[in-house]
């Protein structure tokens, strides 16, 4: 089966742009988290805060942590896609070695698996996690 015709320069630029955007967003979230700590410190810790304020701070810190984890995951995928470009394996499923559909790559340029393998991996993951 022939490789999907992918416009590599455009895809590489899209991935590079996405990496820069993710790094900016991660920096902003890191600053938000730091500001939460500074704000809490200015109020002299939790001892002087209302219980609801403490809960809000914890909730916000957890939200930032969750979003940061998700962004780092996508950033890792973007970096892996750029590495695959350098290695000449970009656009090939990392599981079955078949070409990844061009439309899929254009929608999600960082994917490593064809839709069939991605579906299989998600099912296996769900079974392992008891979903």
DSSP output for 2-33: PPP---HHHHHHHHHHHHHHHHHHHHHHHHHH
Domains of the chain, by residue range, sit at 8-128
pLDDT > 60? residue 45: no
Q: Mean of the per-residue pLDDT values for the chain?
A: 86
Question: Which of the pair, 115 or 37, is modelled with greater confidence?
Answer: 115
Mean pLDDT to the nearest integer, 2-12: 71
Q: pLDDT digits over 68-99, tens only?
A: 999 999 999 999 999 999 999 999 999 999 99
- Cβ atoms of 78 and 18 within 8 Å: the answer is yes
What is the homologous superfamily of the domain 8-128 according to CATH? DksA, coiled-coil domain (1.20.120.910)
pTM for this prediction: 0.77
> Residue 77's pLDDT is what?
97
The 8-class DSSP code of residue 100 comes to P
Q: Do 57 and 36 meet the contact criterion of CB atoms below 8 Å apart?
A: yes
């Amino acid at each position: 089966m022939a490789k999907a015709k992918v416009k590599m320069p455009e895809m590489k630029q899209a991935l590079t742009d996405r990496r820069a955007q993710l790094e900016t967003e991660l920096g902003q979230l890191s600053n938000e988290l730091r500001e939460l700590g500074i704000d809490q410190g200015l109020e002299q810790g939790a001892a002087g805060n209302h219980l609801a304020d403490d809960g809000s701070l914890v909730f916000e810190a957890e939200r930032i942590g969750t979003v940061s984890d998700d962004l780092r995951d996508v950033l890792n995928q973007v970096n892996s896609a750029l590495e695959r470009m350098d290695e000449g394996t970009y656009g090939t499923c990392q599981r079955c070695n078949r070409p990844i559909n061009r439309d899929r790559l254009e929608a999600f340029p960082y994917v490593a698996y064809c839709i069939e393998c991605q579906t299989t991996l998600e099912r296996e993951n769900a079974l392992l996690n008891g979903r």
